[in-house]
């Protein structure tokens, strides 16, 4: 029997926008962005199998962000630069098409996004032997993901479960008492 693969689909624009707008209140500095290598390693460790990282990015301008693409490639990701007509959400469209295609494969999937636009494509992936995960910041994920947890959707926090950041983010969240550290507030 062939080894299963976890496909890690990254909606980098969504994560960057949530981090900048909702958490930091400004554009993130380079050292405040997720460590993408940790995310790929987390996906491999979590379900004890190979993971293939697909990093979707909008490339509507005349030039590709080559430094970022080269960095992603060096980390083991497959960068997927996309373009389209003005106003088209090309990253969302590509991730939706990829989720639709995964229905036909014996593979697991982790989606890194908060966007409810993916709910119709995630639901058909649930309920069988396939593992399906959502990675992001729980307090900012679309409310439509909550009912899918009863169908098997697993949620992983980008900061606390994946440990994708070098510094603690200024988030307001409910803290399980077992994780409460009073020194963090003193």
Whole-prediction pTM value?
A: 0.90
Overall number of domains in the chain: 1
> By residue range, what is the domain housing residue 16?
5-185
- Nearest Cα to Cα of residue 108 among 163, 153, 148: 153
65: left (phi over 0), alpha (psi -120 to 50) or beta: beta
Q: What number of residues does the chain have?
A: 186
Identify any residues that bridge with 153 across adjacent strands, giving them in sequence order: 132
What average pLDDT score do residues 67-77 get?
94
Q: What is the mean pLDDT of residues 161-177?
A: 84
Query: What pLDDT does residue 175 have?
Result: 79
Q: Is residue 1 predicted with pLDDT exceeding 70? A: no
Contact 57, 83 (CB under 8 A): no
Is the pLDDT confidence value at 43 over 60?
yes
pLDDT tens profile 106-118: 999 999 999 999 9
Q: Is the pLDDT of residue 2 over 70?
A: no
Helix (H, G, I), strand (E, B) or coil at 112: strand
Which three-class secondary structure state does DSSP give residue 8? Answer: strand
CA distance 65 to 86: 19
Task: List the beta bridge partners of residue 19.
Answer: none
Average pLDDT estimate for 122-142: 94
| Mean pLDDT of all residues in 70-83 | 94
pLDDT surpassing 70 at residue 53: yes
Average pLDDT of the chain to the nearest whole number: 91
At 186 the pLDDT is: 84
Instruction: Note the pLDDT tens digit of each residue in 80-99.
Output: 999 888 889 999 999 999 99
- Residue 113 half-sphere exposure, CB side, CA atoms within 13 Å? 27
**CATH assignment at residue 103:** 3.40.50.1010
Q: Report whether 36 contacts 171 (CB < 8 A).
A: no
């Amino acid at each position: 029997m062939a080894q299963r693969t976890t496909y890690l689909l990254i909606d980098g624009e969504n994560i960057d926008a949530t981090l900048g707008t909702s958490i930091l209140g400004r554009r993130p500095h380079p050292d405040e962005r997720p460590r993408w290598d940790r995310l790929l390693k987390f996906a491999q460790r979590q379900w004890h199998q190979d993971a293939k990282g697909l990093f979707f990015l909008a490339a509507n301008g005349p030039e590709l962000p080559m430094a970022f693409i080269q960095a992603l490639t060096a980390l083991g990701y497959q960068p997927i630069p996309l373009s389209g007509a003005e106003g088209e959400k090309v990253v969302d469209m590509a991730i939706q098409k990829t989720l639709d295609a995964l229905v036909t494969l014996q593979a697991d999937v982790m989606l890194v996004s908060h966007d409810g636009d993916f709910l119709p494509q995630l639901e058909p992936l649930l309920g069988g032997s396939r593992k399906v995960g959502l990675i992001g910041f729980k307090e900012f994920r679309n409310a439509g993901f909550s009912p899918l947890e009863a169908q098997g959707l697993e949620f992983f926090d980008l900061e606390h479960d994946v440990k994708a950041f070098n510094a603690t983010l200024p988030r307001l969240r409910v803290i399980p008492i077992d994780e409460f550290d009073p020194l963090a507030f003193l």
